[in-house]
Amino acid sequence: MRQIFKDAALDKQFRHQGYVVVPLLDDETVASLYKCFEDSQTPNIGGFHGTMYHADRDYRIRLDGIIKEALEPNVDRILNNYRPFLCNFMIKEPGEASSEMPLHQDWSFVQEPEEVSVHIWCPLVDVNHENGNLAVVPGSHHLSDTVRAFADDCPFREQFPLLRESYLRELPMKAGEAVLFDGRLVHSSPPNVTNRRRVIAQSIGIPKDSPIYHSWRVSPTEVEIYEVPEVFFFDYILHQAPQNVPLWSRIEYAPRQLTADEVSKLSEYMESSATLASA
Ligand SMILES: O=C(O)CCC(=O)C(=O)O
Ligand SMILES: [Fe+2]
């Protein structure tokens, strides 16, 4: 198993609990990214929104490039041979209960579990419970399936109330810090009830030599996995089957709901993550 993080202690912590919080961007880079966000006049379309869904393709590509340039050297400093792609600003508009992001897992982008995607979530303003910090379920990557197709049912869904009550950990952070999490980790964020926009820079980190995959459910029991170029996501239309990209494989996969008993294994990660974090 190759080391994902250059620092062995961080690697151990990431493998064990599925995420780490690290200083990622310096104040100057945070300020310049925030200015880029303000200057780009991202419209307030209410609730929660990301620049990757902006109607203008050139705008999406330009912002991806600017964020990527800021992230790349910092990702290189921390991760072994990883590159960020699909870079976005994610915004929670002020005072809107609709900006809550419910518990979910992100799509799979690499061939798991041999490869692991490291999802990068870096606030450009200080974040806390009131304005929508990220909340994660430590260890949930260990119980996760390795294919997460577009709009698939989440295997943790029936246990969401239990997760919220006993296993969800909020991560208040300073601007420029980042949570780097395993793509399989269950996460969510509360609504922004303050009077300021919450803005974060977000990206998906994958091994530099890894192809990018996108999974599409074709029947209740079958998923098609496409190998896609990075530009695929700039042209992507949600809820539409991938077009003009090669089919890499077709697999039998139907998500199965986890039981409360299975999910109770997560208590191990709640206890030990605090120890490892301070190790
Ligand atoms: O920005 C948020 O609050 C949630 C973002 C999220 O789910 C993600 O980055 O995968
Ligand atoms: Fe997510």
DSSP states of 91-121: EE-TTBGGG-EEEE-PPP-S-TTTS--EEEE
Q: Which residue has the tokens 């609504």?
A: 191
Ligand 1 centre distance from Cα of residue 246 (Å): 29
pLDDT of residue 34: 97
101 lines ligand 1 (CB under 6 A): yes
Separation between Cα atoms, residue 269 and residue 136, nearest integer Å: 12
Residue 223 near residue 149 (C-beta atoms within 8 A): yes
90 lines ligand 1 (CB under 6 A): yes
Separation between Cα atoms, residue 203 and residue 205, nearest integer Å: 6
Q: Which two tokens stand for residue 118?
A: 């490291």
Atom of ligand 1 nearest to the CA of 189: 3
| Residue 200 CA: distances (Å) to CA of 126, 191, 233 | 10, 14, 19
**CATH numbers and ranges of domains, the chain:** 8-272 (2.60.120.620)
Which residues share a beta bridge with 202?
Answer: 88, 121
| Model pLDDT for residues 19-55, shown as the tens digit of each residue | 999 999 999 999 999 999 999 877 778 789 988 878 8
Pocket test for ligand 1, best of 88, 101, 122, 179 (most atoms within 8 A of CB): 101
| Model pLDDT for residues 76-92, shown as the tens digit of each residue | 999 999 999 999 999 99
Residue 177 near residue 109 (C-beta atoms within 8 A): no
Q: Which residue has the tokens 């100057």?
A: 28
Read off the pLDDT band of 278 (50, 70, 90): very low
Ligand 2 centre distance from Cα of residue 137 (Å): 12
Separation between Cα atoms, residue 238 and residue 11, nearest integer Å: 34
Q: What is the pTM of this model?
A: 0.95
Closest residue by CA, ligand 1 atom 2: 189
How remote is the C-alpha of 232 from its chain's centroid? Answer: 18
Atom of ligand 1 nearest to the CA of 121: 9
Ligand 1 centre distance from Cα of residue 220 (Å): 27
121 lines ligand 1 (CB under 6 A): yes
| Model pLDDT for residues 250-274, shown as the tens digit of each residue | 999 999 999 999 999 999 998 765 5
Write down the mean pLDDT value for the chain: 94
